[in-house]
Structure 1
Amino acid sequence: MSSDVAGIYARESPYLDRYVQVGIAQGRVISLSFPETPDEGAESEHDMLDRIESYLDGVEESFDDVQVALTVPTDQRQVLEAVREIPYGQDSSVAQIARVTPGLDDENDDDLRAIREALTENPAPILIPDHRIRDGPGSTPPAVVDKLRSIEGL
């Protein structure tokens, strides 16, 4: 299946004990989730699922070439773009994200709260690796976070 074909794609991951489901539109990822059952009609063959499966098998993957459509407010987009820059095998803190996100202060409680909110609204975990934020929430289920951190040695 070509990577630019729009649709919903899902594949079961024995490692995660759930599905990995990705939504694609105009060649960009619009969502990534970990449902226990996939959406009805989801196709199982897609290049992105192949790459995620390799990542889950322990192949180091940055996904930095993947276009993610961030349909979130600008302040959340800036936070998620900063999170996306955290390299494979490294983690960060909410305060560190504040320091590298323009206009945010790591000593301002409202800014730290805004970062946590952006992490919770993350539409594409793994591609925007909220599992690499050791002290923040994310949109990745906790059991999946533990497994992703384990893959990366965190």
Structure 2
Amino acid sequence: MATSGTSGVFAREYDAIERAVEVGFAGGRVIAVSFPEEVPADADGDHDLLDRVGEYLRGDRETFGDVEVGLTVPTDRRRVLEALREVPYGESTSVSRLARLAGLDDNDAEDVGLVKEALRENPIPVLLPDHRVEGGPYATPGDVRESLRRVEGL
């Protein structure tokens, strides 16, 4: 999805999660997603990505794979979050399997700790679907996570 230089904050409320989804862009890349109780006053509600989030929440098999993201996290966490993005819609994975997908040793406590840290600090939930990981931790709030899991049949 080309957003050609889009910068700013966009948000819209969605009944399916009983919250808003707020998306921050810089230079055409998504750099943050959050779930405030209400749409912030300074947020614009008109963006194609918000339309797609609405379609996803209504049950469309949206993967957001074409959305450009700008991860400003250390390389080791980036590798975990990029692996997370590869977990297919409607499928779940374990922390151990995600470690392996990221090229880490799921029997090494430090590697598993790195995976958990990356999940907990995920700056772009939904696009980087931490709700698909069984047993977390999660950046996505619990009530939102359960709604997303329900949408995907998990």
Which category describes the TM-score, using the shorter chain as reference length?
over 0.9
Question: Structure 2 matches for 1:3-18, cutoff 5 A?
Answer: 3-4=3-4, 5-18=6-19
Matches of 1:40 and 1:74, distance apart in 2: 34
Percent identity, aligned pairs only, is 51
Counterpart Cα distance in 2 of 1:60 and 1:12: 20
| Partner residue, 2:95 | 94
Once the two structures are superposed, what CA deviation does each residue of 1:35-76 show, in whole Å capped at 9, x if it has no partner? 112333100000110000100011110111001100000000
Specify the code of the residue in structure 2 equivalent to 1:110.
E
Counterpart in the other structure of 1:110: 110
Preserved CA contact (<8 Å) 1:10 1:42: yes
Query: Partners of 2:39 and 2:112 in 1: how far apart?
Result: 33
- Which residue does the alignment assign to 1:140? 140
For residue 136 of structure 1, report the CA deviation from its aligned partner.
1.4
The aligned residue for residue 121 of structure 2 is 121
Q: Stretches of 4+ moved more than 2 A in 1?
A: 2-5, 37-40
Verify: 1:130 aligned to 2:98, yes or no.
no
Where does structure 2 lack aligned partners over 5 or more consecutive residues? none
Match for 1:118: what amino acid?
A: A
**SS of 2:93 mapped into structure 1:** coil
Structure 2: which amino acid aligns with 1:80?
L
Equivalenced residue count is 152
Residue 66 of structure 1 corresponds to which residue in structure 2? 67
Hey, what does 1:33 align to over in structure 2?
34
TM-score relative to the length of structure 1: 0.95
CA–CA distance in structure 1, aligned partners of residues 143 and 74 of structure 2: 28
1:75 aligns with 2:64: no
TM-score, length of structure 2 as denominator length: 0.95
